[in-house]
Amino acid sequence: MKVLNKNKLPAVFDKLAQQSELFVPLQKKEQSGFYSWKSFDQASDQLALDLLNVYLPPKQVLLPQTEKMYSFRQEEGGVAISEVYEESQARVIFGIRACDLQAINCLDQAFLTRGFVDEFYKARRDNTTIVASACYKPGANCFCSSMGVNPLEPAGADAIIRDTGTEYFIWEARTPAGEELSRQLAEFLEEKELPLPQSQAFERQVDMEGVAEKLSQVFSSPLWEELSDACQTCGICTYLCPSCYCFDIQVKNQGEAGYRFRCWDSCMYGEYTLMAGGHNPRASATERFRNRFLHKLEFFNERYGMPLCTGCGRCIIACPAGIDISKIITAAKEAEWSA
Amino acid sequence: MDITGKIREIAARLLQNGEVDLFMAWEKGDLPFQSKPFFARRVEDVERIIFDEYSIHNLSNALLKFRDRQEKIGLVVKGCDSRGVVRLLEDGQIERDRLYIVGVCCPGMKDPLQAMRDYSGFNRNPEAAPLAAKCENCIQPNPVIYDELLGEEQPPRVQGERFARVRELEQLSPDERYRFFEDILSRCIRCYACRQACVACNCRTCIFDETKPQWVGRETSISDNMMYHLVRASHMAGRCIECGECERVCPVNIPLMLINQKLIKDVDNFFGPYEAGMQYVEGAKPPLSVYQENDPDDFI
């Protein structure tokens, strides 16, 4: 088998970053997320491949929180588009976990299928190569295995690294793009036989069987209000979520020129459903809370055949009110939903 | 009987007699450090209520969900939370006679979010401290408004100079200060958790949600982020009751209380002596909520 010495990672990253924009999990002072290797600052940053995961999800690489779409300028007789910002340079995401990769598979469904292709997303996605890190030690809030994810075989990866607990990662190419990476990195890869790591059991499990169907029947249940009591309707859950993809399109003008951009939006915000005439169909926390869970566990499932939650656990960790999506899934099956 | 038992007894009595329609307290999650807000609506819910060292959330904020409704509400408040109730009463957000306030003299709390992050596998270094940062700076552990008071009176916990961190920042040159704010505010992901956790953020339509005109851009850029935080901070001047929830809930650890403390100190200096939400006097107006001809303006 091919193995990669961990001590060589900085050199591997330098090499990959020569030909592409490379994103790796980093701890940057108080924050952790997937950042460009170019931004790595030896003095304050640390590689986070050894941690279970990073707080800010890698969706940022394919769907930036703020993204310029085009610039325009007013000219005689109309408006002229002066520049379109489509990013199609090669990218590599290195060290993504199976849950976060499954979330990208969800984004692919939303942005590339059913006759709707998002050109900005597609330009990035088509030129992105993914090296996933197999997950052998699930964390206390992980439940990806209950959400159709195999943490040891990240679906959609071009190559997979497996942390053997020694100084080596096992390296496996899975696609032609992965083979190409193996060739690029040939000078760093060694042949060596190492035992596979032992995988550990999940502490947290849920049963998704029948959840979407059940939720489709309980829209008007008064239980939603009680479930949402503690929710403060901030955007933490949606912005730390690797699969939440809602965005807004806005414009900034200065004089006769300006640009249009899109930015993440959150169904937890009142403004999200505010209509031009002033009516808001989801005025209360209960309605927004219900929408978030129905989108994750019911609507997306109905349309694409997979849930929009991949069990990464970030919202469970960071919710100030202690709201836990795995409890909502359990409640869908077990709770008394009628009044 | 411990505090939890006493709270349950009070809640059961109030719900039973119909004196309140719901009672806000906490319940336990699966893990020892998980305490979360819980609203009991029926007598049988009362046995889920707990009060422990992780009951850190400021429940006064949750009253805003009910401001346009009729329910009578019982709630448990610590010192800081009770100042939040005063904030809402002064701001005309809820009527005193809709509330039954159970005050608990607070021995200081631990932060369940810190404990959860330590437990998550995402942290390289443990964060959890014996006492939450917001409690280390507490000047008012005992409730200032209540119908019933539980627990032994507690001394203020702030040690040394209360505004030491603010003074350090004041010593920096304007350029150094700018770089400091640029550094902390560039991390903001605009999740608005600080605003949502804040009891003083009780505007019906928040300036940041307005679209006609849009006062603050929605980009996560340093200029829009600074605009957001500076406008929010100035809206807090004379109104922040120092519960520290904004800083506690921030998912990217922005030291928001440093900004609020600077304003607390300045309002006290220029318009005080004043400490927000320390007592409820009907009709009282905090500084800056009314114009006084003799308000100082020489610092502008």
CB contacts of B41 in chain A (<8 Å) are 226
Can you list the alpha helix ranges (DSSP code H) found in A52-92? 59-62
> B21, B42, B122: best mutation site toward chain A, by most A Cβ within 10 Å?
B122
Output the DSSP codes for A289-303: HHHHHHIIIIIHHHH
Residues 6+ apart with CB under 8 A from B160: none
Q: Which amino acid is at B152?
A: E
- Give, for A106, the enclosing helix (H) or strand (E): helix A98-112
> Chain B closest CA to A51's CA: distance in Å?
6
For residue A22, being part of any structural domain is answered with yes
- Indicate the average pLDDT of chain A: 96
With an 8 Å Cβ cutoff, are A66 and B195 in contact? no
**Terminal Cα-to-Cα distance of chain B (whole angstroms):** 55
Residue % of chain B over a pLDDT of 90: 91
B118 contacts on A by Cβ (under 8 Å): none
Q: What is the pLDDT of residues B197-221, one digit of tens each?
A: 999 999 999 999 988 889 999 999 9
Interface test with A, best of B59, B219, B247 (most A CBs within 10 A): B219
Average pLDDT for residues A53-61, to the nearest whole number? 97
- With CB atoms and an 8 Å threshold, state whether B65 touches A324: no
Given this model, what pLDDT does residue B15 score?
98
A339 lies in a domain?
Answer: no
Over 60: is that where the pLDDT of A70 sits? yes
pLDDT band at A272 (very low <50, low <70, confident <90, very high): very high
Task: Please indicate, yes or no, if residue B202 is contained in any of the structural domains.
Answer: yes
pLDDT tens digit string along A237-262?
999 999 999 999 999 998 999 999 99
State yes or no: pLDDT of B76 exceeds 90: yes
Whether residue A25 has pLDDT greater than 60: yes
Instruction: Report the pLDDT value the prediction gives residue A246, as an integer from 0 to 100.
Output: 97
Residue B286 pLDDT grade (very low, low, confident, very high; cuts 50, 70, 90): confident
Residue B197 has its nearest CB partner, among A232, A271, A324, at A232
> Please, what is the average pLDDT of chain B?
95
pLDDT of A339 > 60? The answer is no
Q: What is the pLDDT of residues A199-223, one digit of tens each?
A: 999 999 999 999 999 999 999 999 9
Sign of CA dihedral B220, B221, B222, B226: negative
Average pLDDT value for residue range B265-281:
93
For chains A and B, count residue pairs whose Cβ atoms are closer than 8 Å: 126
* Cβ <8 Å between A52 and B120: yes
pLDDT at B4: 98
Distance between CA atoms of B266 and B181, rounded to whole angstroms?
18
Over residues B178-193, mean pLDDT: 96
Confidence band for B283, pLDDT divided at 50, 70 and 90: confident
The whole domain housing B161 covers 3-271
Residue of A nearest to B61 (CA): A232
Q: How many domains, in total, are found in chain A?
A: 1
Q: Which residues contact B5 (CB under 8 A, 6 or more apart)?
A: none
Give the E-state strand segments of chain A in sequence order: 2-5, 21-28, 31-36, 45-47, 66-75, 78-84, 91-96, 128-133, 159-163, 168-173, 189-191, 247-254, 257-264
pLDDT for residue B166:
97
Residue A338 lies in a domain: no
The count of domains in chain B is 1
Note whether residue A21 is domain-resident: yes
Identify the pLDDT of residue B293. Answer: 86
Q: Binning pLDDT at 50, 70 and 90, where does residue B9 land?
A: very high
Per-residue confidence band for B269, with pLDDT thresholds at 50, 70 and 90: very high
**With an 8 Å Cβ cutoff, are B36 and A321 in contact?**
yes
For the CA atoms of chain B, what is the radius of gyration? 20
Q: Is the pLDDT of residue A29 over 90?
A: no
Q: Is residue B296 part of a domain?
A: no
The whole-number average pLDDT for the span B239-268 is 96
Distance between CA atoms of residues B291 and B33, nearest Å: 46
Name the band, by pLDDT with cuts 50, 70 and 90, for residue B297.
confident
pLDDT classification of B110: cutoffs 50, 70, 90: very high
pLDDT at residue B298, as a whole number = 79
- Taking residues A35-60, what's their average pLDDT? 96
For the segment B270-287, the average pLDDT, to the nearest whole number, is 90
Interface contact B189, partner A, CB < 8 A: yes
pLDDT of residue B300 exceeding 90, the answer is no
Does some domain include residue A248?
A: yes
Q: Are A297 and A211 in contact (CB under 8 A)?
A: yes
Asked if residue A81 lies in contact with residue A70, where contact means CB atoms within 8 angstroms, the answer is: yes
Task: Specify the pLDDT at position B290.
Answer: 84
Please give the pLDDT value at position B284: 83
Position B285 pLDDT exceeds 90: no
Read off the pLDDT of residues B211-252 as tens digits, 9 standing for 90 and up.
Answer: 888 999 999 999 999 999 999 999 999 999 999 999 999 999
Q: What is the DSSP letter of A91?
A: E
Return the biggest CA–CA distance within chain A.
Answer: 70
Q: Are B120 and A317 an interchain contact pair (Cβ–Cβ within 8 Å)?
A: yes
In chain B, the residue whose alpha carbon lies closest to the alpha carbon of A31 is: B252
State what percent of residues in chain B have pLDDT above 70: 100
B72 pLDDT higher than 60: yes
Across residues B168-187, what is the average pLDDT? 96
Residue A43 belongs to what domain range? 2-63+70-333
Q: A135 at the B interface (CB within 8 A)?
A: no
Is residue B63 predicted with pLDDT exceeding 70? yes
